[in-house]
Structure 1
Amino acid sequence: MAALYDRIGTGYSSGRRTDPRWMAPILAALGDARTVANVGAGAGSYEPDDRLVIAIEPSGEMVRQRPPGPVVRAVAEALPLRDGAVDAVLGVLTAHHWTDWRAGLAELRRVAPRQVLLAYETAHHADFWFVREYVPEIGDLERGRPSATDIARELGTDEVIPLPLPWDFTDGVFPAYWRRPDAYLDPGVRRATSALSLADPDAVERGVRRLRDDLDTGRWRERHRDLLELDEWDAGFRLVVARG
């Protein structure tokens, strides 16, 4: 995974900007934790700035884009922290990338009594219109990943908070442009999403060509007229909170 993000992570800090509408529930879930380990920390999105944060990140490219602060190059499955080292662990859209997600969750439980993970229901992503209509190959990848429900079950919690996507969301997560389809024509937008970076480039290019044609002819807007009337949409993102 470090090698992957060394390759595809360029520009994440600009394309994946923190949105306050997700930051607020994440801060609420962290509660009064004064020390936080951010596992799979990336460029630092959604890290609190009012407490000590130790970033755990294997990719040098992602570390390069981070603000100043403590960083440890490591993976979730082998955290270089003692038992109970921090008050809480945070993981933002990372567990689906781990080689062994169950081992990673066990490590999170070991080092902190509170675990806060932003994850997603993989079935929702597999049924996203961009996947269903343009690059169905992404669906095969999504269906093989742990969903938010899987993660909550493994952690033994039923505290799962839906995080809908506003139409003007500023964090370029894969489905962020559900009402702004023209954005997917931008190579920079596509590079900032791992789902598209990991997919077969030929399949993505074919899908983008079909999308461009559907936008030019008005077919996309006719087919998705209902989405254009929504201010927010449930793409399956969930905040999983476990308190020991």
Structure 2
Amino acid sequence: MALYDSLGATYARTRRPDPRIGARIHGALEGMASVINVGAGAGSYEPERTVLAVEPSRVMVGQRPVGAAPAVRAVAERLPVRDGAADAVMAVLTVHHWSDLAAGVGEMRRVARRRIVVLTWDQRVFRERFWLVREYLPQTVALDDQRAVPVEELASLLGGARVETVPVPHDCTDGFGAAFWRRPEAYLDPEVRAGISLCAQTGEDVIAPGLERLARDLASGRWHRRHAGLLGLAEIDVGYRLVVGNV
């Protein structure tokens, strides 16, 4: 069973594309007449010119909207398309789930005629700057330290890609890991956590004590006093990166 057959059931509700992040991704794909989305999930951030989505999870494919690009159930390491099948290949918050990064990148380079665009994160920055994992859920760091892809390694595999910082807006609509950095109460919602793989894969029993402390700190006002500096910010850099390579 694909990982997101169990973790992805709430994605259509909690992981709605954020237009500002979407603008960054689409800007990197400007001029590309055809796009293949690898690890496509429910179709977030796919431009209209997407010709194929590749996704292993039946549950995720089932949440794709009517009119979305056709989807095939397959893995990044073995893309079921010919060489040079599209101008560009995109991959959004997915490379950390791949079993063989080099094989997956090799397949993207085989399939893309012109460009590869990957949204991922820098684990070192994420660990240092994101209060949730630093103060309340340090157990989740162990998982991400194992699976997170070093951005420098990814850029190297892509042949020297450029790396761009993608700040997270305070009202981000895409409920990934750090999306609620200024809305801490959201992390107490089980449905929100179900759409965040670092919480869902670590396990509710493991993170329960940290969530209880967060609930107490929110109720007492301690969190707001400690993080008063965040409350006036419109966006922050917590490590999310756009990696753009030309083939």
Once the two structures are TM-superposed, the CA of residue 16 in structure 1 deviates from its matched residue by 0.6
TM-score (norm 1): 0.95
Tell me which of 115, 118, 132 is aligned to 2:134. Answer: 132
Once the two structures are superposed, the pairs formed by residues 191-206 of structure 1 within 5 Å of their partners are 191-206=194-209
- Does residue 228 (structure 1) correspond to residue 228 (structure 2)? The answer is no
How many pairs does the alignment contain?
Answer: 242
Are residue 169 (structure 1) and residue 172 (structure 2) matched? yes
Distance 1:39 1:238, change over 3 A: same
Q: Normalising by structure 2, report the TM-score.
A: 0.94
Match of 2:53 in 1: 55
The aligned runs of 1:20-99 (5 Å cut-off) are: 20-49=19-48, 51-67=49-65, 68=67, 69-99=69-99
User: What do you get for the CA RMSD once the two structures are aligned?
Assistant: 1.2
The answer to whether structure 1 residue 8 and structure 2 residue 11 are counterparts is no
Aligned residue for 2:182, secondary structure, equals: coil
In 2, Cα distance between equivalents of 1:154 and 1:226: 38
- Secondary structure of 1:156's counterpart equals coil
* Aligned residue number for residue 178 of structure 1: 181
* Contact preservation (8 Å) 1:121, 1:149: no
Q: CA deviation at 1:54?
A: 0.3
- Partner residue of 1:217? 220
Determine the C-alpha separation between the residues in 2 that align with 1:39 and 1:100. 14
- Could you give the per-residue CA deviations for residues 152-181 of structure 1, whole angstroms, max 9, x where no partner exists? 122122411111011011110110110110
Q: Which runs of 4+ in 1 moved over 4 A?
A: none
- Give structure 1 stretches of 5+ with no counterpart: none
CA distance in structure 1 between the aligned counterparts of 2:194 and 2:70, rounded to whole angstroms:
27
DSSP 3-state at the match of 1:241: strand
Q: Is the contact between residue 86 and residue 112 of structure 1 (CA under 8 Å) also seen in structure 2?
A: yes
What is the alpha-carbon distance in structure 2 between the residues aligned to residue 71 and residue 63 of structure 1?
Answer: 7
1:175 aligned counterpart, secondary structure: coil
Q: Distance in 2 between matches of 1:197 and 1:219?
A: 26
Supply the distance in 2 between the matched residues of 1:109 and 1:192 (Cα, whole angstroms): 29
Residue type at the aligned position of 1:122: Q
Q: What's the offset of the Cα at 1:200?
A: 3.0
Q: Unaligned stretches of 5+ in structure 2?
A: none
Conserved in 2, the CA contact under 8 Å of 1:58 and 1:74?
A: yes
Shift in Å, 1:81: 1.1
- Please give the secondary structure, in 2, of the residue aligned with 1:116: strand
Paired-residue identity, %:
51
Residue 188 of structure 1, aligned match among 191, 201, 208: 191
